[in-house]
Copies of this chain bind each other. A is one copy, B any other.
Amino acid sequence: MAKKSAHVPSVRDVLEVDPAGVDLAAIDPAATPVGPTNKADAAKAMEAIGVELDQLQENLYAEGVGGGRRRVLVVLQGMDTSGKGGTISHVAGLMNPQGLRVVSFKKPTRAELSHDFLWRIRRQVPGPGQIGFFDRSHYEDVLVPRVDELVPPSTWQARYQQINDFEAELAESGVTIVKCFLHISPEKQKERLVARLQTPEKLWKYNPSDLAVRAKWSRYQEAYTDLLAKCSSRAAPWYAVPSDRKWYRNWAVAELLLHALRDLAPTYPVPAYDPAVELAKLTEADPLR
């Protein structure tokens, strides 16, 4: 009894999507259901997370140098202005760029479309020891083509299983996948689009097609609901991150990544040599002469 009431739910407990009952309308994009409830507390938390992430990242990187195969992939999806880029800047920015692999997936090129939809994704999976960030991903292929009816329904419907198989294969090969759906409200999107249009330095972030996509809001929410329900597995669960508040979104993704790395608990590899022997060679018989 006491034990149960003392259990503090983690970010994963609270934000993990239940594939059996995905209801995006029931999730308040402005909520702070776990963790900090104001910007100042979030900033303080981010500092502590940054210190820990940095160390865990170095350990994971060292493990990779030592022959380990493990790595982490953070997948970010969300409507325009949900903050995929901002999250990368704030969360990946806490770590050493040397161990990062950040990839933005744009509208597929003709060359990319001539391959299966996972082809361009496979080429960008982080290598051993790396932490990857995908700004959009293979999930675009069950969103745009569905909503815009670019392919027959049977094509995009088949992709859920193809995605699950692909992610199971990644997990098998040592990739820990952290999938974050950045959930915003249509009101917040409007506010951010207006801000982009009113700020000269932000005009480049706006594209007239954003309005066409916005007009299909409910169809996109349906498509998201389906992919969250059909592609949440033990190996690669989805998290729905309330993202109307940028500081909460950044904290939540950073904390989710932190938990993933803590579970991996990477450590410096045991050297495949004897440091004392090497030290003796170097100090007593320096090869350089």
Please give the distance in Å from A114's CB to the nearest CB on chain B: 18
> Counting CB contacts under 8 A, is A97 at the interface?
yes
- Measured CA separation A193–B275 after assembly (Å): 11
A93-B96, A102-B100 given; A197·B88 CB < 8 A: no
A98-B104, A268-B200 given; A278·B206 CB < 8 A: yes
Please give the distance in Å from A54's CB to the nearest CB on chain B: 10
Please give the distance in Å from A100's CB to the nearest CB on chain B: 5
> Counting CB contacts under 8 A, is A5 at the interface?
no
Q: Which of B96, B214, B279, B287 contacts A212 (CB 8 A)?
A: B287
In contact, A85 and B98 (Cβ under 8 angstroms) = yes
Contact partners of A133 in chain B: CB under 8 A: 97
Contact partners of A211 in chain B: CB under 8 A: 278, 281-282, 287
- Would you mind naming 21 contact pairs between A and B with Cβ atoms under 8 Å apart? A62-B204, A65-B205, A89-B98, A95-B97, A97-B97, A97-B100, A98-B135, A100-B102, A190-B282, A193-B282, A194-B283, A197-B279, A203-B271, A203-B275, A206-B271, A206-B275, A207-B273, A208-B278, A211-B281, A211-B287, A212-B287
Given contacts A204-B268, A215-B288, 16 further A-B contacts (CB under 8 A): A66-B204, A88-B96, A88-B98, A89-B97, A89-B98, A98-B135, A101-B102, A186-B288, A197-B275, A197-B278, A198-B279, A204-B271, A206-B275, A207-B273, A211-B281, A211-B287
